[in-house]
Amino acid sequence: MKYENLIFDLDGTISDPKVGIVRSLNYALEAHSYETRQASELCQFIGPPLDHTFSSLVESSDSTLIQSLVSKYRERYADIGYAENTLYSGIPEALRQLNEIKGLRIGICTSKRADFAKRIIEMFSLQDFFCFVNGGDVGIEKWQQLEALLEEGEITQNSIMIGDRFVDITAAHKNNLLSAGVLWGYGSEAELTQHNPLHLLKSPDELTRLMS
């Protein structure tokens, strides 16, 4: 078998979270008396950890302020933002086909909190496809999440990280894992190719080719 584990990012890879994330970011900014931003400007922040996002948006490294912004964001996201999410066409079919491969374990590694991630995949009735859902939090980098999954034996070195942003690719490489970039999310082809993923996929139906 080509890989023992397929590790999926969530936002921009399994589903499109744009509406919920943009509205929740602006909700937090407005609550702290900052100007709200256009969706086109905020899309670049879909994927990386929230503390990095708010630090860039308000141009501050004040940990108290950043934590307050994250908390306010999550206030709205937990109530309605997570549900303002759209499943990418072709994802359920690809996951179903991959799940038919004996011995293959499929999981999620996302920068968002695990409880939010689980609510999203349950909303789309995808929970049975995944053996694990690994989520992050403020101060935790995605490469550290992958490192922990390796240390815990949840994944092996014969794994591939699949995601739409550079953080997915660099996190994999830092752990000596292979990577696949997807072009239906929020990372551009230029962003992804700069970090040398082994595969670059143009549509969800190409996911099954990873195992061929």
* Full residue range of the structural domain in which residue 30 is found: 18-83
What's the chain's average pLDDT?
96
**Separation of CA 164 from chain center:** 8
Assess whether 102 and 172 both reside in one domain.
yes
pLDDT band at 48 (very low <50, low <70, confident <90, very high): confident
Angstrom distance (rounded) from CA 116 to CA 79 = 10
What's the pLDDT tens digit per position in 51-74?
999 999 999 999 999 999 999 999
Q: What is the CATH number of the domain that holds 154?
A: 3.40.50.1000
Token readout for 50 is 């929230």
Q: Is the Cα torsion angle 198, 108, 111, 183 positive or negative in sign?
A: positive
Domain boundary residue, one of 65, 83, 101: 83
Domain boundary residue, one of 37, 68, 83: 83
Q: What is the CATH number of the domain that holds 32?
A: 1.10.150.240
What's the pLDDT tens digit per position in 142-166?
999 999 999 999 999 999 999 999 9
What's the pLDDT tens digit per position in 114-137?
999 999 999 999 999 999 999 998
Across the chain, how many H-helices and E-strands are there?
9, 8
Q: In the chain, how many domains are there?
A: 2
Assess whether 156 and 185 both reside in one domain.
yes
Catalytic residues: 9
